[in-house]
Amino acid sequence: MARGRFITFEGGEGCGKSTQVRRLAAQLQAAGIDVVLTREPGGTRLAELVRGLLKDEREDPPCDRSELLLFLAARAQLVRNVIRPALAAGKWVLSDRFSDSTFAYQGYGRGLPLDTIRLANDFACDGLKPDMTLLLEVDAATAARRMRGREAATATAADRIEQAGDDFHARLREGFRALAAAEPDRIRRIDASGTPDDVEGRIWTLLKPLI
């Protein structure tokens, strides 16, 4: 059986990743493709427990290095127990965030050394890389407006990482752009402005030829 494809969604908070990953999953399923939808950190029982630790805001929040290692521990579990078996079974795997978020947040955002992250991340993933990564890009004001809308709609507050300052978020954007410039064949930049239907259409135009 042919190996499935591994597609990841990346970008800063509020750009529409979770919205679009669900829409793409529905379109692929309608085209007869077996899809596994997952998210990071999370996607296995252990990894969801780690997600809880990463979002913990009580007296002992993770320091930058332990934050990196927790993300990677969750990823190692997800790759081994969910992503690899699904790809081997010919399914397509869509992940809401993956390794590029680690480079952007813990590397460009927190300032941990990129070469160390690369080594540790390759170890955690056992070399697995996405076949295609969709980087959703919107301006800061649009992202902030969408985040406020979601907080109001779901009655949730911004979490520890979401609350990091404007400088942090500016470094993230710059980081994602640098990652895309370094691997333009894998990382495809998507204009994520406009309605959810507009963005879905742009993504489908890119993905359709792969089916």
Residues forming the site for Mg ion (CB under 5 A): 18
State yes or no: residue 146 binds ligand ATP (CB under 6 A). yes
Burial of 136 (0-12, 13-18, 19+ CB in 10 A): buried
196 binds, among ligand ATP, Mg ion, none (CB under 5 to 8 A by kind): ligand ATP
One residue of 68, 134, 199, 203 binding ligand ATP per CB under 6 A: 199
Please, what is the minimum distance in Å from the beta carbon of residue 111 to Mg ion?
A: 24
State yes or no: residue 18 binds ligand ATP (CB under 6 A). yes
State yes or no: residue 189 binds ligand ATP (CB under 6 A). no
Provide DSSP, 138-181: --HHHHHHHHHHHHHHHT----TTTTS-HHHHHHHHHHHHHHHH
Please, what is the minimum distance in Å from the beta carbon of residue 115 to ligand ATP?
A: 26
One residue of 5, 6, 8, 16 binding ligand ATP per CB under 6 A: 16
Amino acid at 149: G
Residue 19 tokens read as 């919205």
Sheet containing strand 187-191, edge to edge, reads 35-39, 92-96, 6-10, 132-137, 187-191
State yes or no: residue 104 binds ligand ATP (CB under 6 A). no
- Nearer Cβ to ligand ATP (9/87): 9
Beta bridge partners of 7: 94, 132
* Stretch (H or E) spanning 24: helix 17-30
- Nearer Cβ to Mg ion (84/150): 150
Q: State how far the Cα of 31 lies from the Cα of 46, in Å rounded to an integer.
A: 32
**Length of the chain counted residue by residue:** 211
- Nearer Cβ to ligand ATP (87/137): 137
199 binds, among Mg ion, ligand ATP, none (CB under 5 to 8 A by kind): ligand ATP
State yes or no: residue 144 binds ligand ATP (CB under 6 A). no
Interface with ligand ATP: number of residues (CB under 6 A): 15
Q: Which stretch binds ligand ATP (CB under 6 A): 15-23, 86-94, 114-122, 172-180?
A: 15-23
Q: State how far the Cα of 80 lies from the Cα of 58, in Å rounded to an integer.
A: 31
Residues in the site for ligand ATP, rule: CB under 6 A?
Answer: 11, 13-19, 146, 149-150, 153, 195-196, 199
